Structure 1
Amino acid sequence: MAVERMKTVGIVGRIQDMDRICRAVVLNGSMHMLNALSEINSGYFKLSASEENIEAIEESSHLMPYNANKDFGKDEQIIKSLYDIFNLKPSIDTVSLGIDYDYSQIMNAMKEEYEAVRELWDEIENKNKLVEEKRNYINNLNYMKDINMDIGQLLNLKYLRFKLFVISRENYDRLKRNYENIPSLVLKVAVKDDNIIVMSVAPQYFDEEIERLFMSLNYQELKLPEGYQGTAQEVMEKLTEEIKNLLNEIKELKDMVQKHRGDISHEIRKAYLALKLEEKVEMVKREAAMGQRLFFLFGYVPRSKVNRLQKEMRDYFGNNILLLIDDAPVREMAKAPPTSFKNNWLIRPFEALIKMYGLPSYDEVDPTVFFGLSYMILFGAMFGDLGQGFVILTAGLYLTYKKKRADFGGILSRLGGSSMVFGLLYGSVFGNEHLIPALFIRPMANINTMLILAIGLGIILMTISFLYSLVNNWKRRNIEEGIFGREGLVGFLFFLTLIFTVVNSVYGLIDVPFSVLIIIMAVLLLLNVLKEPISNIIKGSNRLYKERVVDYYTEAGFGVIETLLSFLSNTISFIRVGAFALNHAGLYLAFETMAEMINSGFGGLLVLVLGNIVIIGLEGLIVFIQGLRLEYYELFSKYYSGDGVEYKPIRING
């Protein structure tokens, strides 16, 4: 698949229609906004001298940025309060609103409704606080239920002060050590976790001194209810009855609130949608260019969505709007068209791993298909097992459908499937290589073959990477790097010659003099060294070098050494694919040996189960990372820049 092609879409409308047009743009949800003033001044903006364009041409010469900045903070707070009061969940249904509404009228209605129910809600909140306060009193009185004293009298002693408080065990020990110096009667009444509940009675004369002492112990006073008579148990019963009455009153008030909900819930959701839409509209307006009678908007729209946008705009505004549609030009990186992926269901989850490295530029081939297929092959080759792959596949499906983690779950399920395929090729089920026959090869019985196949796989993948690089450079019309660069045609031919030389030296495939191959590689390296002056001659440039000649050739000389080392290291790096396939089988063999050393059948089975868990969790993670390393460092370095800009259309739920 490829990066989705973009169109540059310009919208010119009358200022009195600006709100409705911006709403239509947001509800359409396909336009990646551009700054209109920058677009008009960039040189890419062109208007044909037709009758319908005359007014727009006149206005385009004296435009100003949109400078209003509407604050939606108060409106948002009112809507949020109403959602809380009526226990509603925010939802967006764009069908119920459209573009023809009066935002001020909607918000004024919400303010009136809020004022109508706020008094009831405040009363509910106050009663809830009273309930919480009385419950705290009950909890505190519970520590004194065995004390047969009148609480009212205890709290209103004429010459003494009563306190109930909690301190830590450590501070209680300090209190006991200094007890003789405290002008107070102190009694431990309960223990709660690591804290001590303490009751204190002291002369009121010593209030300040006692307070300083207890504050040094980081005490927390436990409040008791004022104005009640009777023992702690009797007061607790009274408080319980009061709480019951308050809860009944709260229920009645909530019922009154809910009567409002039935009539107003739809309007609240509509107001919430209008608020979110207006916030996005304001974002669109910030990118607008304002004339005296007209305003201008510009943005990128995927080619597949242009017709729908065009149809909606014509349906809404007819001839009262001017649409300018053109192919998106490939520009300097800061203003390049955004990248939108267009991949099928099998490859789509791997887009997340592409984004981790960087999005493809608009003029690059989308690497997701090659990345996804090669990554599945690499993972499967390193972690080939029918049973363990099934576990990973199941985990991926669970994340996708139960936890709604489609990206990561999709990646795991596909890697698990690849692992199962290679498990069949290797004849491995949960590490056991005796249950099913190998359809291709048993790694531990063919170590050299596995390592050679791994290098062969690396050569194939690197060859495809060079082909991607050639296509990307051709699309950019980059003669210097596309033909003579290290990742261009010259580099590709040098890589193939180098591989052929090594393979032919080992296996003697064709009788080619070694000196001829050396001469071919030397000529190719020389072309790579001379890439800048040769490409400048082909392009007819007046300057052969962009820098001093000595500096250029010094850098080019080191580049030759780097080319030789990188090609060899990149290729040999793929030997880890075979090494991890062997390591996978060897690690299970270690657990199998430990299981055999245990005389208990159940114990041996437990070791094998734990071994598989370790292999799936630990080695699976390592192989996942190693596969990414090969993709990012050995393959992407050949053809992929990842300097793209993400396609972010302005939409109400985006």
Structure 2
Amino acid sequence: MIVKMKFINISGPRGDIDRVTDLYLSRYEIQLESALSELKTVDNLRPFVEINPYRDALNKAIQFVGYLQNADEVEPDVSLGLDDMFEVVRTANHDYMELQDKKDKLKRKIDDLRKKQQIIAPFRPLDCELSQILKYKYITYRFGRIAIEFYHKMDKYLMDDLGAIFVEGERDESYVYGAYFVSPGEAQKVDAVFRSLHFEKIELPEEFQDTPADEYRRIVKAIYNTNQEIEELDKQAGEMLSGRAPQLIAARNRLEELANNFDVRKMAARMEDKKEDYYILCGWMAEDDIEKFLHEIKDDDKVFVVVEDDHDTYFGEPPTKLENPKIFKPFEMFVQMYGLPSHDEFDPTVFVGLTYSFIFGVMFGDVGQGLLLLIGGGLIYYFKKAPLAGIISTAGIFSTIFGFMFGSIFGFENVIKPLWLRPIDHMTTLPFIGKLNTVFIVAVAFGMAVILVAMVLHIVNAVRSHDMENIWFDANGVAGLVFYASVAVTIVLFMTGHKTPGGIVMAVMFGIPLLLILLKEPITRKIQKRADQMEESAGMFFVQGFFELFETLLSYFSNTLSFVRIGAFAVSHAAIMEVVLILAGAESGSPNWVVIVLGNLFVCGFEGLIVGIQVLRLEYYEMFSRFYKGSGRAFDPYTKKSKKSKKK
């Protein structure tokens, strides 16, 4: 059902807005509207221009609580005052930032070590003391790398003519790393040759003293030790935050409330009246909540409330909040997918819950598989609160019921006796048509009944919105209901061998409703005494009306036949399970139980998904399209608190 909403105006001294929001409004669900937009007729309205003083501290508290493990299991410290909460966040931030500064320094140290590691790594094969090489006075040295192709040329053609020695280090796909040594007198010539070979010099830091391999190991150890220091700092930060977890969680919760309450100013307006300054808040509240709110503030002389009863005229459409029994609550998901009902529409949640579950059960009737859906969906819904799981569980109840009706349990049809019939082989003889599967006949009859119910719901919605044309003359209104009901009754009488109405009676039953549907626009205009004229000529009106009427009759026929799929899937389900049993060798008396288990799981998942989609298609296209618009907007309260969390 749709919760009845009322528009409410709340005002009082400007400085009292935080108290009112925190003491009263935070305990109720209210969808705030922009007071500046809604109260256009009120003079001297101005917006609030203030910075939220809680937001920075709240962001820090959220950050620190996010670092905690099992924060949901920690009991908040409710004894803290507001100043204490700010102090907890401030000191935690100070201590945390000190640790972070140390951590950043260590990270920069690691970056420096890695750069040195990259420099020395290619020279590890060189067996020499760097402390001696870097201090050579009578030998010139150059560390660096040379492209492989130039190195081969140098080794083949030039080394015998150069007064230099090249000591090779490591190689990769592109370069040879190493160092060449030359006497100072030959250095200029050798340097020129190596430059022509694109030799790239690499400067080694003077702090390198031992062999390249030893220096590399020293750097690796230093990086490891530094990482250990970082881990120790992380551990200290975690212990520091864990020790303050109750205070931080309490601060986060309370600061979040205060920050959200302060943000109410975004929707509020200020009004200056002589020397006094007032705030104005307006929005939608449930009728029951308004009564409690008014009772609560009756002795508060700083709060002034006006409940606007004539909101349709001044404040537009109220938002939609659905409130249904728990068993139907998951089906609100399907309604929301199509569109929420407006405040003057019928809430189809219960209708969807009943029809969806019933049709699913017929199309997927099996005791064992139905119980699997019931238990599996129920457990997921209980632990995860997933609406689709709740729908599956409810549908599983009807699958189990129709499993008994069809005498099917995990595909076996010789274990229990059907309470009604077996879909795959039960036939009925009809006049003019002959033999036809009974389930198909019942499915079409059920479809007719559902369409008639959808038409009644269309009329109910039209009455609520005071739409005369849709009440009486629409294809789904009274005229359409009379025509379709007359056709349904006539078909049932004919198929059951009873006498059908006479020709004149049938002409009246069929002709007058169709004529009213054809002429609905001019008749409505005449009844409402409207002066506007039709845009098209009379001839064009009748031509257009004829084709629209033909389309309406065609839709009646196609929508009715669409329900044949209910019987088709009931039969196909039994046929698929027969295939599973044949593959498992059930006819021999010793079936392969692995195949049966896997087959049942596959059918539960794959066919269950297809059936679920097909039933949803019937809901949307064959039912919703007849009576439901779904043009409402969702109720979006500024606070999502439940009534259980209200302050005492």
Residues 337 and 328 of structure 1: is their aligned pair in 2 closer, same or farther, counting only changes over 3 Å? farther
1:645 to partner: Cα distance: 0.7
Is 414-423 or 86-95 further displaced after alignment?
86-95
1:615 to partner: Cα distance: 1.6
- Give the equivalent residue in structure 2 for 1:378: 359
- Which runs of 5 or more residues in structure 2 are unaligned? 156-165, 181-190, 428-436, 643-648
- Give the equivalent residue in structure 2 for 1:180: 152
Say yes or no: does 1:463 pair with 2:462: no
- Give the equivalent residue in structure 2 for 1:61: 43
Residues 631 and 250 of structure 1: is their aligned pair in 2 closer, same or farther, counting only changes over 3 Å? closer
- Give the equivalent residue in structure 2 for 1:120: 99
Say yes or no: does 1:395 pair with 2:379: no
CA deviations over 1:340-363 (Å, ceiling 9, x no partner): 111111111110111111111111
Any conservation in 1 of the 2:128–2:212 contact (CA below 8 Å)? yes
2:39 aligns to what SS in structure 1? helix
- One of 374, 378, 402 as aligned partner of 1:422: 402
CA deviations over 1:185-218 (Å, ceiling 9, x no partner): 57569xxxxxx89973265955994669xxxxxx
Say yes or no: does 1:432 pair with 2:412: yes
1:90 to partner: Cα distance: 8.5
Any conservation in 1 of the 2:458–2:476 contact (CA below 8 Å)? yes
- One of 262, 286, 289 as aligned partner of 2:266: 286
Q: What amino acid is the match of 2:5?
A: M
Bigger proportion of residues as helix: 1
5 Å matches for 1:441-520? 441-446=421-426, 448-520=437-509
Residues 90 and 10 of structure 1: is their aligned pair in 2 closer, same or farther, counting only changes over 3 Å? farther
Q: What amino acid is the match of 2:306?
A: L
1:321 to partner: Cα distance: 0.8
Q: What amino acid is the match of 2:249?
A: R
1:518 to partner: Cα distance: 2.9
Within 2, Cα distance between the matches of 1:599 and 1:139? Answer: 73
Residues 314 and 198 of structure 1: is their aligned pair in 2 closer, same or farther, counting only changes over 3 Å? farther
- Give the equivalent residue in structure 1 for 2:434: none
- Give the equivalent residue in structure 2 for 1:5: 4
- One of 299, 303, 306 as aligned partner of 1:321: 303
- Give the equivalent residue in structure 1 for 2:629: 641
1:577 aligns to what SS in structure 2? helix
- Give the equivalent residue in structure 1 for 2:573: 584
Residues 559 and 253 of structure 1: is their aligned pair in 2 closer, same or farther, counting only changes over 3 Å? closer
1:490 to partner: Cα distance: 0.8
Any conservation in 2 of the 1:337–1:362 contact (CA below 8 Å)? yes
Say yes or no: does 1:351 pair with 2:332: yes
Any conservation in 1 of the 2:77–2:247 contact (CA below 8 Å)? no
Within 2, Cα distance between the matches of 1:545 and 1:67? Answer: 53
- Give the equivalent residue in structure 2 for 1:276: 256
Within 2, Cα distance between the matches of 1:428 and 1:226? Answer: 84
- Give the equivalent residue in structure 1 for 2:143: 161
1:458 aligns to what SS in structure 2? helix
- Give the equivalent residue in structure 1 for 2:281: 297
Q: What amino acid is the match of 2:261?
A: V
Any conservation in 1 of the 2:144–2:200 contact (CA below 8 Å)? no
1:577 to partner: Cα distance: 0.3
- One of 169, 172, 178 as aligned partner of 1:201: 178
- Give the equivalent residue in structure 2 for 1:614: 602
Within 2, Cα distance between the matches of 1:370 and 1:3? Answer: 14
- One of 635, 638, 641 as aligned partner of 1:650: 638
Q: What amino acid is the match of 2:452?
A: T
Residues 311 and 127 of structure 1: is their aligned pair in 2 closer, same or farther, counting only changes over 3 Å? farther
Within 2, Cα distance between the matches of 1:500 and 1:578? Answer: 21
- Structure 2 length normalisation: TM-score? 0.79
Within 1, Cα distance between the matches of 2:130 and 2:640? Answer: 61
Residues 237 and 449 of structure 1: is their aligned pair in 2 closer, same or farther, counting only changes over 3 Å? same
Within 1, Cα distance between the matches of 2:132 and 2:459? Answer: 92
Say yes or no: does 1:36 pair with 2:38: no
Higher-Rg structure is 2
Q: What amino acid is the match of 2:465?
A: R
5 Å matches for 1:96-115? 96=78, 110-111=89-90, 114-115=93-94
Q: What amino acid is the match of 1:200?
A: Y
Within 2, Cα distance between the matches of 1:387 and 1:155? Answer: 84
- Structure 1 length normalisation: TM-score? 0.79
1:431 aligns to what SS in structure 2? coil
- Give the equivalent residue in structure 2 for 1:52: none
Q: What amino acid is the match of 1:272?
A: R
1:335 aligns to what SS in structure 2? coil
Within 1, Cα distance between the matches of 2:304 and 2:74? Answer: 30
2:530 aligns to what SS in structure 1? coil
1:412 to partner: Cα distance: 1.4
CA deviations over 1:479-499 (Å, ceiling 9, x no partner): 111111111111111110121
Within 2, Cα distance between the matches of 1:350 and 1:629? Answer: 14
Say yes or no: does 1:367 pair with 2:351: no
Is 249-258 or 277-286 further displaced after alignment?
249-258
Any conservation in 2 of the 1:83–1:90 contact (CA below 8 Å)? no
User: Identity over the aligned pairs, expressed in percent?
Assistant: 27
- Which runs of 5 or more residues in structure 1 are unaligned? 43-59, 165-174, 190-195, 213-220
Any conservation in 1 of the 2:144–2:199 contact (CA below 8 Å)? no
Question: C-alpha root-mean-square deviation of aligned residues, in Å?
Answer: 4.4
1:8 aligns to what SS in structure 2? strand
Within 1, Cα distance between the matches of 2:85 and 2:615? Answer: 55
- One of 282, 287, 290 as aligned partner of 1:306: 290
Q: What amino acid is the match of 1:453?
A: V
